[in-house]
């Protein structure tokens, strides 16, 4: 029932619903949305030429894959309330202890459910599918001329939420734009050549142009090779930047935790770009500031605090500390 509702609320287009024992194909024909259901596992049906011919003749272009919630691994996760605004980064750090497989062997997605009953934690729903299963689905469909734009699955805990494990739509659109641009450029070049021939350019002139076209073709291959090298370099740069950012986040989290004495209490934490703000109570806020000042990654540490008296007649400070992370982009 949940998957039926999911299909009705999704946008029009080719869709393939896969469960453990059936495959349902949603497609448009003569302006109407039609549905065809096949019994059997998807891998088994691929050996049936009738099923393959049906997909090839009725589905064209991009199609969406929707898995039933029984085909994914889903679990709730409790995270500290203070990291609710940055839970995806914290969840990424905790993935090795939360999943049954290494993160390189899975596709995963998550969303924030809400506060836990005791309100010191927030609840996050985490879901995953095995990477090799998703990749096999994509490869099988590409062999029969179909391109997968995304792989989704509904949540079993929140009926209105859809997990999205793979999204290739932007990649295919970029390839199409490149192909159309190349075809337009090729058409323009051919048009110019035909126009010159039509005007009666001499054979020597044609040979001269052909030699230059060959030279440009060789140079274009060099340019394409250089573009591939630049693309690989950008991927490596992105990887190492993300790795460095993650290592610094782990170090900062360790420093912030170590700076809070056992007799102090942190009630709120917020990070916006390079700016960090946290508040709580402590008998001696100066000790916390001194500890934070010793790390090389924090600067501009300031305290706007007022003194209050607790029920035990012990003087404590209610503090609000603000600081900035050294270096990086100042996105506030």
- Non-local CB neighbours of 230 within 8 Å, separated by 6+ positions: none
Closest to 24 (Cα-Cα) out of 60, 61, 68, 56 = 68
Position 4 pLDDT exceeds 50? no
Task: Yes or no: say if 141 and 126 are a contact pair by the CB < 8 Å rule.
Answer: no
Reduce the DSSP state of residue 265 to 3 states and report it: strand
Greatest mean pLDDT range, 170-184, 236-250, 268-282, 317-331: 268-282
pLDDT tier for residue 24 given thresholds of 50, 70 and 90:
very high
Closest to 263 (Cα-Cα) out of 312, 302, 300 = 312
From CA 83, how far away is CA 112, in angstroms rounded? 11
The structure's pTM equals 0.47
* DSSP bridge partners of 323: 276
pLDDT digits 0-9 by tens, 134-184:
888 888 888 888 888 889 988 887 777 888 888 887 666 666 667 677 777
Neighbours of 194 (CB within 10 A): 10
From CA 195, how far away is CA 192, in angstroms rounded? 5
pLDDT digits 0-9 by tens, 215-264:
888 888 888 888 888 888 787 777 767 665 665 677 777 878 888 888 88
Please tell me the total number of residues recorded for the chain in this structure. Answer: 332
The pair of three-digit structure tokens given for residue 132, joined into one six-digit string: 């090799």
C-alpha gyration radius of the chain = 29
Measure the N-to-C terminal CA separation of the chain; round to a whole number of Å.
43
The pair of three-digit structure tokens given for residue 104, joined into one six-digit string: 């390189």
Burial class (CB within 10 angstroms; exposed 0-12, middle 13-18, buried 19+) of 268: exposed
């Amino acid at each position: 029932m949940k998957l039926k509702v999911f299909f009705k609320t999704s946008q029009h287009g080719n869709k393939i619903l896969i469960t453990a024992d059936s495959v349902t194909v949603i497609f448009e024909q003569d302006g109407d949305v039609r549905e065809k259901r096949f019994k059997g596992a998807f891998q088994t049906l691929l050996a049936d030429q009738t099923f393959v011919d049906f997909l090839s003749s009725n589905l064209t272009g991009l199609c969406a894959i929707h898995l039933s919630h029984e085909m994914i691994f889903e679990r709730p996760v409790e995270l500290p309330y203070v990291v609710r605004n940055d839970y995806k980064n914290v969840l990424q750090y905790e993935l090795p202890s939360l999943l049954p497989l290494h993160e390189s062997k899975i596709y995963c997605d998550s969303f924030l459910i809400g506060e836990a009953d005791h309100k010191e934690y927030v609840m996050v729903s985490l879901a995953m599918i095995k990477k090799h299963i998703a990749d096999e689905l994509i490869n099988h469909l590409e062999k029969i001329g179909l391109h997968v734009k995304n792989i989704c699955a509904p949540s079993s805990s929140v009926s209105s939420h859809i997990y999205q494990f793979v999204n290739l739509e932007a990649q295919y659109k970029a390839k199409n734009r490149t192909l159309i641009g190349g075809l337009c450029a090729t058409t323009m070049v051919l048009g110019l050549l035909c126009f010159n021939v039509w005007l009666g350019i001499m054979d020597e002139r044609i040979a001269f142009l052909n030699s230059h076209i060959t030279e440009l073709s060789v140079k274009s291959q060099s340019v394409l090779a250089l573009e591939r090298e630049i693309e690989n370099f950008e991927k490596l740069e992105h990887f190492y930047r993300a790795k460095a950012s993650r290592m610094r986040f782990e170090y900062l989290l360790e420093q912030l935790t170590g700076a809070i004495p056992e007799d102090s209490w942190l009630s709120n934490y917020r990070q916006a770009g390079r700016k960090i703000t946290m508040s709580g109570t402590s008998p001696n806020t100066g000790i916390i500031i001194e500890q934070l000042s010793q790390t090389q990654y924090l600067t501009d540490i300031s305290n706007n605090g007022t003194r209050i008296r607790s029920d035990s007649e012990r003087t404590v400070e209610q503090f609000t500390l603000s600081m900035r992370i050294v270096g990086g982009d100042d996105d506030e």
